[in-house]
A and B are shown apart, each in its own frame.
Chain A
Amino acid sequence: MTQHGFYYDATRCTGCKTCQLACSDRYDLPTSYFYRHVFEYSGGDWKTEADGTVTTDAFVYHTSVSCNHCDDATCVKVCPTGAMHKDGETGIVEVDSNKCIGCGYCVMSCPYNAPTVDRDKGHSVKCDGCHARVSEGKKPICVEACSTRALEFGPIEELRKEYKGDADVAPLPSPEYTKPNLVIKKCVRSKASDDKSGTLSNRWEVM
Chain B
Amino acid sequence: MEHAIATELPLALFTTLAPISAGAFIAIAIALFATELSEKASKLLDKLSFVPLVVLAAAFIAAFFHLSTPLNAINVFGGLGRSPLSNEILAGIVFGVILLAYCVIALTGKLNGAVKKAFAAVVAVAGLAFAYFIGMAYAIPTIVSWNTPLIPLSIIGFTLLGGGLLGTVMIATAGGMAEARKTSFKAVMLIVAVLGIALSIGSVWAHYVMVSGIETAVVSGSALASGLVVYLAASTACAVLAFACQCAALLKVDSPAVAFVGVVLMIAAIVIARLAFYAMQISVGL
Cβ-based interface call for A22 (8 A): no
Establish whether residues B286 and A174, one from each chain, have CB atoms under 8 Å apart when the complex forms.
no
| Additional 18 contacts, C-beta under 8 A, given A171-B217, A171-B218, A199-B218 | A74-B140, A77-B82, A80-B78, A81-B79, A82-B78, A82-B79, A99-B72, A99-B78, A102-B67, A102-B69, A103-B66, A103-B85, A111-B142, A122-B69, A123-B68, A193-B285, A195-B217, A199-B217
Establish whether residues B286 and A101, one from each chain, have CB atoms under 8 Å apart when the complex forms.
no
Closest Cβ of chain A: how far from B93's Cβ, in Å? 13
Set of chain A residues within 8 Å of B36, measured between Cβ atoms? none
Cβ-based interface call for B84 (8 A): yes
Closest Cβ of chain B: how far from A131's Cβ, in Å? 22
Q: How far is the CA of A195 from the CA of B215 in the complex (A)?
A: 11
Cβ-based interface call for A8 (8 A): no
Which of B106-148 touch A at CB < 8 Å?
Answer: 140-143
Chain A window 86-112, contacts with chain B (Cβ cutoff 8 Å), 1 for yes, 0 for no: 000000000000111111110011111
Q: How far is the CA of A118 from the CA of B69 in the complex (A)?
A: 11
Cβ-based interface call for A161 (8 A): no
Establish whether residues B283 and A173, one from each chain, have CB atoms under 8 Å apart when the complex forms.
yes
A-B contacts, 15 of them at CB < 8 A, read A77-B83, A80-B78, A81-B78, A98-B72, A101-B70, A102-B67, A111-B285, A113-B286, A118-B68, A122-B68, A122-B69, A173-B283, A177-B284, A193-B285, A207-B286
Closest Cβ of chain B: how far from A103's Cβ, in Å? 6
Establish whether residues B218 and A109, one from each chain, have CB atoms under 8 Å apart when the complex forms.
no
Establish whether residues A112 and B285, one from each chain, have CB atoms under 8 Å apart when the complex forms.
yes
Task: Output the nearest chain A residue to B82 by Cβ-Cβ distance.
Answer: A77
Q: Which 8 A-B pairs have the closest CB atoms?
A: A102-B68, A173-B285, A111-B285, A82-B78, A171-B217, A81-B75, A80-B85, A122-B69
Closest Cβ of chain A: how far from B7's Cβ, in Å? 9
Closest Cβ of chain A: how far from B224's Cβ, in Å? 13
Cβ-based interface call for A156 (8 A): no
Set of chain A residues within 8 Å of B75, measured between Cβ atoms? 80-83, 99, 101
Q: How far is the CA of A118 from the CA of B68 in the complex (A)?
A: 8
B286 touches which one: A74, A99, A100, A172 (CB < 8 A)?
Answer: A172
Set of chain B residues within 8 Å of A37, measured between Cβ atoms? 286
Number of A-B pairs whose CB atoms are under 8 Å? 118
Cβ-based interface call for B248 (8 A): no
Which of B23-46 touch A at CB < 8 Å?
Answer: none
Q: How far is the CA of A99 from the CA of B71 in the complex (A)?
A: 9
- A positions within 8 Å CB-CB of B: 37, 39, 41, 74, 77-83, 98-105, 108-113, 117-119, 121-123, 170-174, 177-178, 193, 195-196, 198-200, 203, 206-207
Q: How far is the CA of A37 from the CA of B218 in the complex (A)?
A: 14
Cβ-based interface call for B86 (8 A): yes
Chain B window 261-286, contacts with chain A (Cβ cutoff 8 Å), 1 for yes, 0 for no: 00000000000000000000101111
Which of B63-104 touch A at CB < 8 Å?
Answer: 66-70, 72-73, 75-79, 82-86, 89
* Given known A103-B67, A122-B69, contact A112–B140 (CB-CB < 8 A): no
* Given known A80-B78, A171-B285, A207-B218, contact A110–B68 (CB-CB < 8 A): no
Set of chain B residues within 8 Å of A174, measured between Cβ atoms? 284
Closest Cβ of chain A: how far from B117's Cβ, in Å? 35
Establish whether residues B285 and A41, one from each chain, have CB atoms under 8 Å apart when the complex forms.
no
Establish whether residues B286 and A117, one from each chain, have CB atoms under 8 Å apart when the complex forms.
no
Closest Cβ of chain A: how far from B279's Cβ, in Å? 13
Q: How far is the CA of A203 from the CA of B220 in the complex (A)?
A: 12
